[in-house]
Amino acid sequence: MHMPQNSPVQMLRHKTKVLVLLLGFSFLAGCGELIEPRYNLLGGGSLSLKELEGKVVLINYWAEWCRPCRIEIPELNQFAQDHLTSVRVLSVNFDGVDGEQLIEQVAALGIEFGTLLQDPRDALAVPASGGLPETIVLNRKGEVQEVLLGPQTQQSLQAVLLSIPL
């Protein structure tokens, strides 16, 4: 039995095919890579944590009023200098200050490593500890290895570094 070209059955079949194709393409479009967030750095430039894969990353949370932070920062400065090729140390101001106030606080505390203007904590799914100083350690794959609470020394940071597989 031959149906006319514009019969309701043929039109329904055609619309069904088009709908299936559109759904298939929309599904495939959703399979693309997620856009990695970029974080602006104090003084200019930006980075994504994905760009740092291959290095151990230390993200240190500090505040101007935090005495243990003031003790820890020289240790972090030296550790960053001693491990330029294998470790990236970054800082985040706990109080969320920005602009000129952030520049002044970074200078006053003598922070020599990069300071992020946005907090990556949510993207890393690490809840706030409520204490300072706090350092999030990412392994070479960009995964959270551990969270360190309290002031760190070069020795404690070296022990953490050695515990992370190559």
What pTM was estimated for this model as a whole? Answer: 0.80
Average per-residue pLDDT for the chain: 88
Each domain of the chain, given as residue ranges in start order, spans: 39-163
For 46-81, how does the pLDDT look when each residue is reduced to its tens digit (9 = 90+)? 999 999 999 999 999 999 999 999 999 999 999 999
Give the C-alpha separation, 67 to 101, whole Å. 18
> Residue 19: is its pLDDT beyond 50?
no
- CATH top-level class for 39-163? alpha beta
- Average pLDDT of span 13-27: 49
* Residue 143 CA: distances (Å) to CA of 9, 113, 147: 54, 21, 12
Range name among 11-25, 91-105, 138-152 with the lowest pLDDT average: 11-25
- Average pLDDT of span 28-44: 78
> Residue 3: is its pLDDT beyond 80?
no
In the chain, % of residues over pLDDT 90: 77
When pLDDT is cut at 50, 70 and 90, the band that residue 21 belongs to is very low
When pLDDT is cut at 50, 70 and 90, the band that residue 166 belongs to is confident
Predicted local confidence at residue 20, as pLDDT:
46
Q: Which residue has the higher pLDDT, 35 or 119?
A: 119
Give the C-alpha separation, 158 to 55, whole Å. 14
* Axis crossing angle, helix 67-82 with helix 99-109, rounded to the nearest 10: 80
